Amino acid sequence: MQLPAYATKGLTKVYGEGRSAVHALRGVDLEIPAGEIVVLLGPSGSGKSTLLNIIGGLDRGTAGEVLFRDQRLHEMSDAELTRYRRDHVGFVFQFYNLMPSLTARENVELVTEIAADPMDPDEALSLVGLKERTDHFPAQLSGGEQQRVAIARAIAKQPDVLFCDEPTGALDSATGRSVLKVLADVNARLGSTVLMVTHASSQAQMADRVIHFADGNIGEIVENRNKLTPEQIAW
Ligand X SMILES: Nc1ncnc2c1ncn2[C@@H]1O[C@H](COP(=O)(O)OP(=O)(O)OP(=O)(O)O)[C@@H](O)[C@H]1O
Task: Give residues in contact with ligand X (CB under 6 A).
Answer: 15-16, 22, 24, 42, 44-50
Q: Are strands 37-41 and 193-197 parallel, antiparallel or unpaired?
A: parallel
Cβ proximity to ligand X: between 93 and 137 the closer is 93
Which residue lies nearer to ligand X by CB, 104 or 211?
211
Please give the full DSSP string across 104-134, using - where no structure is assigned. HHHHHHHHHTT-SSPPPHHHHHHHTT-GGGT
Instruction: Round to whole Å and give the CA distance between 188 and 186.
Output: 5
Specify the residue, 108 or 218, whose C-beta has the smaller distance to ligand X.
218
Q: How far is the CB of 60 from ligand X (least distance, A)?
A: 12
Q: Burial level of 200, CB count in 10 A (0-12/13-18/19+)?
A: middle
- Minimum CB separation of residue 31 from ligand X in Å reads 20
- Nearer to ligand X by C-beta: 29 or 231? 29
Q: Of 158 and 203, which CB lies nearer to ligand X in the complex structure?
A: 203
| Shortest Cβ 146–ligand X spacing (Å) | 20
Identity of residue 88: H
Q: How far apart are CA 163 and CA 147, in angstroms?
A: 14
Minimum CB distance to ligand X, residue 45 (Å): 4
**Number of residues assigned to the chain:** 235
Smallest gap from Cβ 105 to ligand X, in A, equals 31
